[in-house]
Amino acid sequence: MAQLGLHTFAVAPKWDVATMRTLRMKFETHKVRVLEIPLLDPSEIDVAETRAFCEETGITPVCSLGLPPEIDVITDPDAGMAFLEPAFDVASGIGAPSLSGVTYGTIGKISGSPRTQAEFDGTASFIKRAAARAKAFGLGLGIEPCNRYETHIMNTGADGRAYCEAVGADNLFIHLDTYHMNIEEVSFAQGFADCGPHLGYVHLSESNRGAPGTGMIDWQAAFQALVDVEFDGITTLESMNHVHEAIASALAIWRPVAANPNDVIDNGLPHLHKAARMAGFHYS
């Protein structure tokens, strides 16, 4: 049965166990079983404290990131691997099953031209190395297609599947995001179906990056599409309520995404539960 997660940007720009403790009752009320922890700077994470918090609460941690703009994994894959290494170490240390996100490149970096075959091949080569290293840490590796304004390397579920098939790693999965899908896919149904067996993680993100139910996303259609592909993994509410300074500019967050920041949890999570129930999508 699927689990509901919450990206911690909903409550703070950086991971902080003390803040998470204050929200424990809300997590229990809204059946939040997973917390997504950004690892843009892995040194910010107190591994022992975080693992203890997760074990105490029964919350599963998952981790995500995007590479910094100075790294080009095609021309200098070693630099990309050096950036990922401490993230793998932290993710494994806190008990996360995976590291996901834009693990293959930089959010906000585009060439101004279509992706070339050389770019596909170079990115696939890097992903293969990264997946092998992730496996050594006991981790899955997720690749998140993003919209055309944030990358030209991977935009759709079909793109993600092409990389998965080119790489052939059994711990590699596609991480789709309804915000990006709303821009790039023909439909939620088509986007999820195009991933085939590689769909492993889903971001539930409103069209305005705020509280689900305050934008253009058809949530019942999104959940129905997940039912249709028999998805039973983790779906995580992602809101850019708070954003780490390392990626705020790349994400073009120029104004608050919610008039009342508390609405993301207090109203957004119930809205997702209602849409899921209407579609017959069940959370544990």
> Residue 254 domain-assigned?
no
For the stretch 204-220, pLDDT in tens is: 999 999 999 999 999 99
> Residue 256 domain-assigned?
no
pLDDT at 6: 98
Angle (nearest 5°) at CA 61 between 208 and 190: 45
Q: Is the sign of the CA dihedral 106, 221, 253, 244 positive or negative? A: negative
pLDDT at 111: 96
- Long-range interactions of 74-77: CB distance < 8 A, separation 24+: 74/118, 74/119, 74/122, 74/123, 74/126, 75/122, 77/122, 77/125, 77/126, 77/129
Range 149-171 average pLDDT = 98
Asked whether 105 and 76 are in contact (CB, 8 A), the reply is: no
For the stretch 230-259, pLDDT in tens is: 999 999 999 987 776 766 666 777 677 688
> Residue 30 domain-assigned?
yes
- In the residue annotation, 144 being an active-site residue is answered as yes
Residue 22 sits in a domain whose CATH number is 3.20.20.150
Domain with 271, as residue range(s), is 3-246+263-279
| Distances 20 to 24, 48, 266, 268 between C-alpha atoms, Å | 6, 15, 15, 18
What's the domain count of the chain? 1
> Residue 255 domain-assigned?
no
pTM: 0.96
For the stretch 73-117, pLDDT in tens is: 999 999 999 999 999 999 999 999 999 999 999 999 999 999 999
pLDDT at 248: 67
Q: Could you tell me the two tokens for 1?
A: 């049965």
Range 188-192 average pLDDT = 98
> Residue 96 domain-assigned?
yes
| Distances 15 to 57, 185, 237, 258 between C-alpha atoms, Å | 16, 31, 16, 20
pLDDT at 49: 98
> Residue 238 domain-assigned?
yes
> Residue 166 domain-assigned?
yes
Which amino acid is present at 44? E
Catalytic residue among 36, 144, 150, 206: 144
- In the residue annotation, 230 being an active-site residue is answered as no
pLDDT at 190 over 90: yes
pLDDT at 261: 85
For the stretch 196-208, pLDDT in tens is: 999 999 999 999 9
Beta strands 60-66; 98-102: pairing state: parallel
% of the chain residues with pLDDT over 90: 92
Q: From the CB of residue 211, how many other CB atoms can be counted at a distance below 10 Å?
A: 27
pLDDT at 208: 94
Asked whether 163 and 155 are in contact (CB, 8 A), the reply is: no
DSSP 3-state of 175:
strand
> Residue 209 domain-assigned?
yes
Catalytic residue among 150, 184, 206, 238: 238
